[in-house]
Each structure stands twice: as structure tokens, then as C-alpha cells.
Chain A
Amino acid sequence: MKPISLFQKNMPIKAVTVFFISNRFQVIFFLLVFPQYIAHSYMIWFIIALGILSQGNLYILSKWISSSYSTKGYAGFIELFGEWKVRILTAVALLPILVKLSVLTINFVSTTRYYIFPSVNPSWLIFVFLLMSMYVAIRGMENTIRFSIIAFFTVIWIILLFLPFYFPPNAAWINLFPLTHSWSQQTWKGILFIWATLSGPEYLICLIPWLKQDQKIVKYMTWANIVTVLELLIVLIASLLFYGHHYLLLIKYPYIEMTRYLQNPIFERIDIVLIAFYLFHLVFMVSILLLILYGAMRIIFKKVSKETTRKGFLITCVITTALIIFLNQFLWTNERQYKTWMNIEVVMSGFTYLFIPSFLVICSKIKRRRR
């Protein structure tokens, strides 16, 4: 059997792909989970404000991306930290990756079960979805990164379906008011959640070696950020207009519930089709994360210089699948645990997005000064 070249670089990937990756990494979380504490009109202001703040963070990230360390990939990190530290840092990084992977998969599976197959065993669905992601991922990092474009185009049009909610009889503008609110603990939660939603571009750090070095990367990340903010705003405002703030608080999956209300002469229940389309999105995310995970495993077990193997990748996938199934069966059984996991994910991804780019930039600055 020929060894497979999962991480081979045949041709550098165009910088525009950054837009798709970064945007899709950002949006998915919001689409799957639309928490109640965000269902307020005044959150519109926070989304815009945090979007701008996120832009600043992206600027820091771009500093790292254009630095000489990042383009060298693994070698660059070794140069910066030394091998031992890199291995420890990678081991630490496994945690947020695994949490993200599990939260996304389990949420998607529970949505699928709720709307499409109420009687299917969730473990089985998790297995099937991960198998699908494996199929995509085994084609190598380069192809998987390019798959982001397909994932983007198969899903982005769905946002157009929300336009009818901006017009009567579905919409009542009065539902959007008042746009102010007193500050409470919910507000902080909302802010944290929005920030966590805007996180995701930090995963680009792992993907930089495959991308063509281009000054435009910042530009594309900016666009991704803008599109994300717009998407969040469109969905949030539409849901507020449609449900009104008070009723919205009672609905668990407003994003999908709204599409169900739409009428289509060919299909009655559009939500089922839409969930199927969102599978593209999920599979893309999971497959990229699986590849990153495998890369991390190789770093931890000192196998970087050796060739990538099917076996190694499969073992990584098996462990991940088993882990997610385990989490779902034993640690994800009631509402309280669900909320805990959500909070962990929100805090973790918010944290990684906020600190990793600056951490790397500062480290590289210090290193340069020492020279």
C-alpha cells in the first residue's frame, strides 16, 4: 500500500480561500446554537461592536501570518519555541480542538435527530457523519481546504431565505424595539457568545503553510469578518422581526424553525432540506479539524519527519469518534450538561481567538529582539 500524502503541498492555495475558511469557521457555531441570551434587539449593537473589535484581532493575526515563522510551518514553531515547548503547546491545543469538534458534531446530530430522525440512535449518526468527514479529509489537507469553497457556496444562499421575514405579514418592525436594554449578566453572556462566534480564524495558523503568501490575506479575512457579521445580523434581526423578543426567548432552534415557516410549492418542509445542506458545512469543519488533530498527534508523538500514514490518521479518527460518542452518551445527557458544554466551548473558543494571535506575535517579537 502506498503511503498517503495527507499534508503534501502540490500547488499553493489561492489567498481568497482564506475568506471561505475563516467565514465558515466563524458562522457555524451561531447557526447551530442560537442561545436565548442573544435574542434581544440591543445585541445588534454588540454584534457590530464586536465585529469591529474582531477586526483588530484579525489584524494582529495577520501580523503573525506574514511573519517569517508562520510560513515555515512546523519548522517555524520549532525555531520560535524549541521542540519540547511546541509539543507541550500542541498537547494543550488539543483540548479546544476536541471540544469544538464534539460540540459541533453533537449539536448537529441533536438538531438532525430533533427535526428529521427522532428515533435514530445518535451514536450511529455521529459515526456516519464522522465517516463522511473522514472520506473528505483523507483526500489531503490541500483538497480539504479547497472544499471550503464548496461548503461556502452550498450553504450561503440559505441566508436569502430569510429575506421574506423582513416584509409583512411576517415582520412587524415594532418587534425590533426597544433597541436599548439595561445591563445584566445575560448581556455579558451574550457578548461572550458573540465573541466566540466570531472566533475561528485562529485555526488559520495551522493552515498557513498551504496557502500562497499574499498580502491580500488580511483583506480576505476582513471580508470574511464582514460577511459573518452581516450574516449574524440578518438572522438575528429576521428572527426578532418574526418572533418578537418575548416569543423568541421560548424557542430553541429559531434558525431552523423560521425556515420551516416558509412555504415552497415543491417541498413543504424546507428545514429538512436545509439541514441536509448544512451537512456540507459540518463535514467541512470536522474534516479540517480531524486533519489538524492528526497533525497535532504527529507533533506530540514526534512523527513529523516520517511520512503520513493511513493507519495513523485512521487511529486519530477512531479515537475522536469514540470520544464524541462517549461524550454524547454519558456527559451530554441533560440540559444542565448541555449548557455546561456550551459554556466551555464559548469560553474556550473566545479565549483562543483573543489570546493566541497576540501570544504568537509577542513571542516572535521577543525572539527577534533577542537576536
Chain B
Amino acid sequence: MRKGVRTSILAFTLICLLLTTSCGVRPENNLIEEIAPVIFWYVKKGENKNLKISTAVPPILKEKKQLFSLQVNLLKQGAKDFNLIYYREMKVGQLRMIFIDEQVAKKGIAKIVDSLLIDPDTSQRLFIVIVTGDFEGYLKKQMKDKENAEYYLYRMLKHYEDQNQGELTPINLHEYKKMLYTPYTDPYIPVFKADQQNFSYEGTAIFKKDTLVKTLTKMDDQVFQLVGTDNYLKYLAIPKLSVVLGRVHTAVDFNLNSSYSKLFIKVKMMGRLEDYQGENGMNDKNIEKMKSTIEAFMEERTKKLMKKMQHMHTDPFQIGTHTITPFGKTLTDKEWYKKWENMDIDVKYELQLGPLPRESK
């Protein structure tokens, strides 16, 4: 009896050993001191048809940072080549941001994003950012001056992502993919401009499917933030009217008629007056007047923006989703875009300003 048990256990172990020793048994070595977790990639158009990808290593704060750049055909090839030139193995498990050059984005970014997504190590919360200008130069400069510049970039994006902070809308991988694959919606991604000194927010890049078609800046971007994405801006600056509104919330109501030939957008905007540099004094009477000026101005800008979108056959406002009802047939993607391009658009703003703490003459 005892012998039988022993033989069976032995046999079991042997069988399993035979089966298992053929290839590597141990899990991947991820000893944190032997790897270099990369927290961002920068993808740029290289020479010929290649891509040029860069990242900063090492991740340890107190070591001197280097910017590595490589010319590659494939994105993941870059990951491999980096390992061959650096003493720590690079891992993408902590990848937090991908910066894509505007030129690359204009050609389409679906493939880059897909190759990132295939790796189960990549987080869905990876931020996608479009950059213009000399981002490499900026990084090189920053690495000399600051200890971990790229980490602060991440913190900035994270800050604006959490609880809807206004100003800009960071887009992560999941959100981008969802917008890309959901009918009637087109993705948008924030755009940053880099030069030797600064890395500044530029506006929002509007995509048609996966290719960049237009970058909204300044006023257009503010309208887009208010109507299209966040419905919140910390500051709405209207230089033309010499006025700045603060803490602007909007409630947007898209109203489509039954044949989808007419769109009526009603925007209820609530905020407070932050700054006024105009000639009229700040009192209740003037404010009433100013309100209607702002309303008219916003209506005009919004309408213009919508027209632009129609012209470019793109719908980042996701207006098409308003055609969906719980029961009933839905339009196909093509049908919708056809209707969208020829739609009449009417915009109405209604501004509510909080009371002024004190008036001035």
C-alpha cells in the first residue's frame, strides 16, 4: 500500500517534470532593480518611412537621466532595440503616457494605439497626448534642470483627469478607443506645444476616425470644452469682449427633429464674472447688457465651430448618439454622417451670472 502511493506520487512528479522542463518554468524576471519601467513613449516621424521613438531612462529619481531615441519600423521593435543598448531591461508595465507628434497623427494613429493595446501590460489609463514642436529638445533641457520632468507631466494630466478639473480634457487609451469604435463619435485628444523652454497646452485635436483633421485652439477649444466634453471651464476668457468668466458650468441640450435635418442646441451657462477690463463700469445694468453680448458671441462661435465640424465630416460632439432610443431602429454610421453634414444648426445660449460682491461705477 505504502509502496503503491510512493510510486504513484513519483510517477506523477516525473510525468509533470517531463512535461514542464521542456520550456521555461519560472515566470518572467521583473526584479524592480533590474528593470527600467518606462513611463512614456514619444513617437515621431523619422527619416524615410520609419518612426522615431524616444523615452527617458532610468526611472530612478537620483540618477542622471538620458533621452534615448531610435529609428524603427515597428513600435515594439523599438522596445527590443532599447534593451540592447541599455543595461536595464525596459518594461512597459508602468507606461503612463504616449506623446504622438502631430505629423504622425495626421497620418493616423490607430496602428500605434493598437500595438500598445495588444500588450496586456499596458494600462488602459495610458494618456494619449499630441505634441507639436520640439518635444525632444524640451525633454533634454528639462532633464538637465529638473530631476524628473516627465513625472510632473504625468501628474499634470492626472490632475485634470480627476474629478473634472476644467481647462483641458486628458484622454486615455480606453476613452480614445471607445470613441474610435463607437458609431457617430470621433475621437479628440489634447494637443501640447513644446519648445526649448515650455510645454504648453495648445488645444484639442479633432480626429476623423484615427487621423487628425483639425486642432481647435483658443476660443474654439473653449467652446468645445463647454459644449462637447467637460461642460466645465475654470476660466472662460473672451478677449474680444474684454471679459473673463469663472467656474463656468454648462448644461447642453441637443435637440434633433424627427427627420434629423435640424439641430437645435440649447446651452445653459452658469458662471461668475471674474475679470472685466472693458470701458463700462461693473454694475447690474451693464451686466445685463454684457450678458446678452456674451450670449450672442457664444452663439455665433458655437455655430461656426459646428459648421466647421460638418465641413470636415467629423462629429466629436457625439451628437449622433442622441438619435438612439431604447427601442427602435438605429441609423448606420454612414447614414448618420450624411445627415450630419447637411444639418441645419441653431444655437441658443442662456447665461446666468452669479451676483457681484460689489459694484463699481
User: Are A and B bound to each other?
Assistant: yes
Residues of A within 8 A of B (CB): 1, 114-121, 123-124, 127, 169, 172, 174-180, 243-244, 246-247, 250, 257, 260-261, 263, 268-269, 309-311, 314-315, 317-318, 321-322, 325, 329
CB within 8 Å of A: which B22-36 residues: 22-28
Secondary structure at chain A's binding surface: helix, strand, loop or mixed?
helix
Are A244 and B25 CB-contacts (below 8 A) given A177-B325, A178-B328?
A: no
Q: Is B19 an interface residue (CB 8 A)?
A: yes
- Whether B16 lies near A247 (C-beta < 8 A) is no
| CA of A243 to CA of B15, assembled, Å | 44
Chain A hits for B125, CB < 8 A: 261, 263
Selected interface stretch from B177-185, B214-222, B259-267 = B177-185
Q: Which B residue sits closest to A269, measured CB to CB?
A: B123
A325 (CB) vs chain B CBs: closest residue: B19
Given A169-B164, A177-B326; A261-B124 close (CB under 8 Å): yes
Q: How far apart sit A269 and B182, CA to CA, in the bound complex (Å)?
A: 26
Q: Is the CB of B27 within 8 A of A244?
A: no
Decide: A314 near B9, CB < 8 A? Known: A123-B20, A127-B16, A322-B15. yes
The residue from A172, A257, A318 contacting B124, defined by CB atoms under 8 A apart = A257
Across the interface, which residues of B come within 8 angstroms of A177, CB to CB? Answer: 324-326
Contact assessment for A180 and B124 in the assembled complex, using a CB-CB cutoff below 8 Å: no
Complexed CA–CA distance, A114 and B119 (Å): 9
Residues in B neighbouring A120, C-beta threshold 8 A: 24-28
Which residue from B22, B120, B324, B326 sits with its C-beta under 8 Å from A121? B22
Assembled-state Cα–Cα distance A268/B96 (Å): 11
B8 touches A311 (CB 8 A): yes
Q: Report how many residues on chain B are interfacial, defined by Cβ distance under 8 Å.
A: 40
Question: Which 6 A-B residue pairings sit nearest by Cβ, starting from the closest?
Answer: A247-B181, A117-B27, A124-B20, A318-B12, A119-B28, A123-B19
Decide yes or no whether B4 CB sits under 8 A from chain A: yes
Docked CA distance A121–B8 (Å): 24
Q: How far is the CA of A314 from the CA of B13 in the complex (A)?
A: 11
Distance from B134 Cβ to chain A, minimum over Cβ atoms (Å): 32
CB of B321 within 8 Å of the partner chain: yes
With A177-B324, A261-B174 given, name 20 new contacts (CB 8 A): A1-B1, A1-B2, A120-B25, A120-B28, A124-B19, A178-B326, A178-B329, A179-B326, A180-B327, A180-B328, A243-B178, A247-B181, A247-B182, A260-B124, A269-B123, A310-B5, A314-B5, A314-B9, A321-B16, A329-B19
Contact: B25 with A118, CB < 8 Å? no
A268 to B158, CA, bound (A): 14
Indicate if the CB atoms of B181 and A250 lie closer than 8 Å: yes
Give the CA-CA distance A310 to B16 in the complex, in Å: 19
Q: What residue of chain B has the Cβ atom nearest to residue A310's Cβ?
A: B5
Residues of A within 8 A of B326 (CB): 176-179
Q: Most chain-A CB neighbours within 10 Å: which of B12, B25, B164?
A: B12
Instruction: Contacts A178-B326, A180-B327 given; indicate if A127 touches B19 (C-beta within 8 A).
Output: yes
* In the complex, B330 has a CB within 8 A of chain A: yes
CA distance A261 to B94 in the complex (A): 14
- Cα of A180 to Cα of B181 in the assembled complex, Å: 20
Q: Known contacts A114-B120, A117-B28, A314-B12; decide if A1 and B5 are in contact (CB<8 Å).
A: yes
Q: Are B11 and A318 in contact (CB-based, < 8 A)? A: yes
* Residue pair B182, A119 in contact (C-beta under 8 Å): no
Q: Is the CB of B24 within 8 A of A119?
A: yes
Contacts of B177 in A (CB 8 A): 247
Q: Which residues from B are CB-within-8-Å of A119?
A: 24, 27-28
Residues of B with C-beta under 8 A to A322:
15
A120 to B9, CA, bound (A): 24
Q: Which residues of B contact A118 (CB under 8 A)?
A: 28, 120
A317 and B13 alpha carbons, distance in the complex (Å)? 12
| B residues in contact with A247, CB < 8 Å | 177-178, 181-182
Q: How far is the CA of A338 from the CA of B193 in the complex (A)?
A: 48
A315 touches B8 (CB 8 A): yes
Residue of A127, A309, A311, A314 near B20 (CB, 8 A) is A127
A314 contacts which of B8, B327, B329 (Cβ < 8 Å)? Answer: B8
Inter-chain contacts of B4 with A (CB < 8 A): 311
27 of the cross-chain contacts (CB-CB < 8 Å) are A117-B27, A119-B24, A119-B27, A120-B27, A120-B28, A121-B22, A121-B23, A124-B16, A124-B19, A124-B20, A124-B25, A172-B321, A175-B182, A177-B326, A178-B326, A243-B178, A246-B183, A247-B182, A257-B124, A261-B124, A261-B125, A311-B1, A311-B8, A314-B8, A318-B15, A321-B12, A329-B19
